[in-house]
Amino acid sequence: MWKIDLKDTRIELQSTYNRIELKKEKLQKARPLPISALSKIKEAISIEWTYNSNSIEGNSLTLRETQMVLQEGITVKGKPLREHFEAHNHNKAIEFLYKLLDTDKKIKAADILSLHALVLRSIEDDFAGRLRYGAVRISGANFVPPSAHKVPDLFDELIAFVNANPLQLNDVELATVFHHKFVWIHPFFDGNGRTVRLAMNLFLMQKGYPPAIILKNDRKKYYDALNSANKGNYDKLLLLIAQAIERTLNIYLSALPGNDADYDSIQNLVNEERLPYGQEYISLLARRGKIDAYKEGGVWYTSEKAVKNYIQKRKRQR
């Protein structure tokens, strides 16, 4: 069994977990969502998911270019053919993932291998959908992945761990541990990052959450968080993934009739003197998950209500 202790982190992030669960329940109660609204959201999120996941791995297509490649079938001049394949492949993997949601509620090795096969299709067909059989090293990482002969057993052990959840972790914690341990095992020669972000979201979506999209702008933060997790400290990775989940929940909830969320950029809220604190402090609260906030294009958004709720909570704790 994986030896993991998240008790202190759970206390620190409890308010974030509570917000996520409340938003998830609100979304569940609103289902089924209007078909037209749901279709548009799914399409936009799939493009954003493909763009960000590929960009983290070095793909140079912009969000607009990714959209044109996927929706209009355009070949972007000056961009490598591989990058076009990466966009199409990732989108096909998302389509396959949605089909898996209708079949089973458990993570299966065969499904992850199928996702990986789609990710590397027409790029590295010899490795697509196959566990690695040789050693690998990861540039910039503070660890060396286990030897290839250990990979099949570790891979199966991780999947069994997620499905059994012997440590009784909550969904966000379990998704985060799965994400990290998958990266640590590094089961494939290539495509590990894209595949683990797909597989993690398969787990989350089976549990009723929308996909968590790790943003390109958070690439350095993401890798730093993974390196911290390699040392047994999951704080950064848990917060990053929790915030990614909450951001997508906000996108879905914003489409609901009667939605009363009033998010604005922290800078605007401060400039309009609607908040009692300065921009730097509010931004710090947002980054640490202390208030209901989300990130878009490098800018943090929150609401007057979220900050006032935080103030009231602090007063009750004194």
Q: Are residues 283 and 220 in the same domain?
A: no
Residue 279, CB half-sphere, CA atoms under 13 Å: how many? Answer: 12
Residue 260 pLDDT grade (very low, low, confident, very high; cuts 50, 70, 90): low
Assess if residue 271 is contained within a domain: yes
Please say whether the beta carbons of 196 and 179 come within 8 A.
Answer: yes
In a domain, 285, yes or no: yes
Q: Give the domain CATH number at 247.
A: 1.10.3290.10
pLDDT of residue 305: 84
- What is the pLDDT at residue 270? 85
What pLDDT does residue 143 have?
84
pLDDT (mean) for 185-193: 97
Pairing label, strands 264-265, 299-302: antiparallel
Q: How many CB atoms lie within 10 A of CB 117?
A: 19
The torsion angles phi and psi of 212, rounded to 5 degrees, stand at -95, 120
Annotated active-site residue in 84, 90, 180, 186:
186
CA dist 23 and 94 (Å) reads: 23
Q: How much of the chain, in percent, has pLDDT values that exceed 90?
A: 65
* Tokens 């704790």 found at: 317
Least confident range of 31-45, 55-69, 107-121: 31-45
Identify residue 228 by its one-letter amino acid code: S
- The domain in which residue 273 lies consists of 264-317
Q: Using the 3D structure, point to which of 210, 229, 253 is the last residue of a domain.
A: 253
pLDDT exceeding 70 applies to what percent of the chain?
97
Assess whether pLDDT exceeds 60 at residue 1. Answer: no
Q: What pLDDT does residue 258 have?
A: 66
- Residue 30, pLDDT > 60, answer yes
The amino acid at 301: Y
CA separation, residue 313 to residues 29, 264, 283, 306, 307 (Å): 27, 21, 18, 11, 10
> What pLDDT is recorded for position 24?
95
83 and 165 part of one domain: yes
Mean pLDDT of 131-150: 89
Catalytic-residue membership of 84: no
Q: Stretch 137-144: mean pLDDT, rounded?
A: 82
* Runs of H (alpha helix) within the chain: 7-30, 35-56, 63-67, 81-100, 109-119, 151-164, 171-185, 192-206, 219-230, 235-253, 266-271, 279-287, 304-317
Same domain? For 73 and 207 the reply is yes
Residues 297, 162 within the same domain: no
Look at 278 and 67; give whichever has higher pLDDT.
Answer: 67
Per-residue buried b or exposed e for 204-224, using 16+ beta carbons within 10 Å of the residue's own CB: bbbeebbbbbbbbebeebbbe
Distance from C-alpha of 167 to C-alpha of 238, rounded to nearest angstrom? 16
Please state whether the peptide bond connecting residue 34 to the residue before it is cis, i.e. omega within 30 degrees of 0. Answer: no
* pLDDT above 90: residue 125: yes
Average pLDDT estimate for 228-256: 93
Encode pLDDT of 261-311 as tens digits. Answer: 678 888 888 887 777 788 888 888 888 888 888 888 778 888 888 888 888
* Cβ contact 9:28 at 8 Å: no
Across the chain, mean pLDDT equals 91
In this prediction, residue 167 carries a pLDDT of: 93
Instruction: State how far the Cα of 315 lies from the Cα of 263, in Å rounded to an integer.
Output: 23
Residue 318 has pLDDT above 70, yes or no: no
If asked whether residues 218 and 280 sit together in one domain, one would say no
**pLDDT value, residue 210:** 94
Q: Are residues 133 and 29 in the same domain?
A: yes
Burial class (CB in 10 A: 0-12, 13-18, 19+), 229: buried
Residue 259 in any domain: the answer is: no
Domain assignment present for residue 1? The answer is no
Q: Are residues 173 and 120 in the same domain?
A: yes
Is the per-residue pLDDT at 164 higher than 80?
yes
Q: Which of 103, 102, 238, 106 is nearest to 160 (CA)?
A: 106
Concatenate the DSSP letters of all residues of 216-231 into one string: GGGHHHHHHHHHHHHT
Is the model's pLDDT at 317 over the cut of 80? no
- The residue-averaged pLDDT of 116-139 equals 94
* Number of domains into which the chain is organized: 2
pLDDT for the residue 267: 87
pLDDT top residue among 257 and 16:
16
